Amino acid sequence: MADGSSSDGFVAFERVQKSYDGETLVVKDLNLSMPKGEFLTMLGPSGSGKTTCLMMLAGFETATHGEIKLDGVSINNIPPHKRGIGMVFQNYALFPHMTVAENLAFPLEVRKLGKSERDEKVKRALDMVQMGDFGGRRPAQLSGGQQQRIALARALVFEPELVLMDEPLGALDKQLREHMQFEITNLAHSLGITVVYVTHDQTEALTMSDRVAVFNDGRIQQLAAPDVLYEEPQNSFVAQFIGENNTLQGNIQEIQGETCVVKLDDGQVIDAKPVNVTEVGERTTISIRPERVEFNPTKLSDDAHTLKAEVLEFIYMGDIFRTRLRVAGNDNFVVKTRNSPDQVRFKPGEHVELGWLPRDCRALDAS
Ligand SMILES: Nc1ncnc2c1ncn2[C@@H]1O[C@H](COP(=O)(O)OP(=O)(O)O)[C@@H](O)[C@H]1O
Ligand SMILES: [Mg+2]
């Protein structure tokens, strides 16, 4: 299902499984291959196995089955401190009794660098995160955002080729989080480091990453670039987890190449693109994004199917209008329209027709 499973990447998981108790698998047959310099995010609900994957890559957990490779070499038997991987966690994990500069020098001492080289690298790392004047402070004398910058500098100070980050911005307020998202991606790209980033925040994943691996239940559900994930979800879980999504239930009535006809449960029919359905009669959940629904039938082809709908709520949001409708028994069908001069402003109780281009509507697993 997930692409990118070839074995020649810089970071590779090959048929990796993990069980903590010898019975249940919390990571199931994971295959993943990352090129050097990629910023890849593991995104998924709590408990889906993201941290476990990162811990196996870092060497703090061992895989129950399968292999993890770094630059083509299996690292299953290499201890964490010899893997040359930088790590950043949500709770910073700075040493409270050391100054900022001492915190940064620590990974260099472990690697037995001399004093002048240490001082130079510490200074450069602090400048990199714009904290050059803070070397003499202790962590308790810094704000949350500053501590997180120091944690980032400490992960980068020994110039690792690979950096792992597990929900590193989770403890920061929204404004600082967005600022740090920008700083981290810029820094990663300018230094050319490879990053595996973990978050449960889809906006963070979509805005920061080259590719996103969507996790659920110990499996990668889809691995793709942000726009592909949003526009071409491969199953109902991904469609529902990423972005806002309207669903309608029905049965496949007809399949012809790139389009199919779906008979919804209230008897109306609509066109869709068959994605992971194969047979006439099969149950399906169709998925359509709120901004791809069309109220103006002249924008659809002459033979397009349309649906009858009732407006339940109309919310003026400035740049867009958000209309909630009842469609085929679903009272939470949302349509977003741009606030353009000719866009109709609906009133609750109005009856309207709506439709879409078949390519924008995906017939997915009934799940
Ligand atoms: N050290 C551990 N011992 C036993 N079970 C664990 C341990 N760490 C995680 N788990 C279990 O493994 C599953 C995946 O957890 P985790 O990898 O932390 O998920 P995520 O980071 O996606 O929230 C969960 O069911 C969790 O309870
Ligand atoms: Mg986690």
Segments in the chain below pLDDT 70: 1-8, 92
| Tens of pLDDT, residues 8-18 | 699 999 999 99
Ligand 1 and 216: CB distance under 6 A: no
Tokens of 351: 């009856």
Domain 244-365 class in CATH: mainly beta
Beta bridge partners of 249: 285
| Ligand found nearest the CA of 53 | 1
Site of tokens 């890849």? 40
Tokens encoding 131 = 């904290």
pLDDT recorded at residue 144: 85
Measured from the alpha carbon of residue 50, the closest ligand is 1
Are 275 and 237 a contacting pair, CB within 8 Å? no
Q: Domain boundaries in the chain?
A: 11-236, 244-365
Tens digit of pLDDT for each residue in 281-292?
Answer: 999 999 999 999
- Selection from 82, 52, 63, 68 nearest residue 13 by Cα: 68
From ligand 1's centre to the CA of 109, what distance in Å?
32
193-247 confidence digits (pLDDT tens): 999 999 999 999 999 999 999 999 999 999 999 999 999 999 999 999 999 999 9
pTM, entire model: 0.90
* pLDDT for residue 349: 97
- What is the whole-number distance in angstroms between the Cα of residue 104 and the centre of ligand 2? 25
Q: Does ligand 1 lie within 6 Å of residue 20's CB atom?
A: yes
Q: What was the pLDDT predicted at 92?
A: 66
Q: How many CA atoms lie within 13 A of 85 on its CB side?
A: 27
Residue 323's CB is within 10 A of a number of other CB atoms, namely 26
By alpha-carbon position, which residue is closest to atom 4 of ligand 1? 20
Radius of gyration of the chain (CA): 25
Give the pLDDT of residue 5.
44
Residue 234 DSSP code: S
Which residue from 23, 43, 50, 52 has its CB within 8 A of the most atoms of ligand 1, so it is best to mutate?
Answer: 52
The fold for domain 11-236 equals Rossmann fold (3.40.50)
Residue 247: the pLDDT is: 97
- 292, 356 in Cβ contact below 8 A? yes
Strand, coil or helix: what is 209? coil
- Which pLDDT score is estimated for 274? 97
Mutate to test the pocket of ligand 1, among 17, 23, 51 (most ligand atoms within 8 A of CB): 51
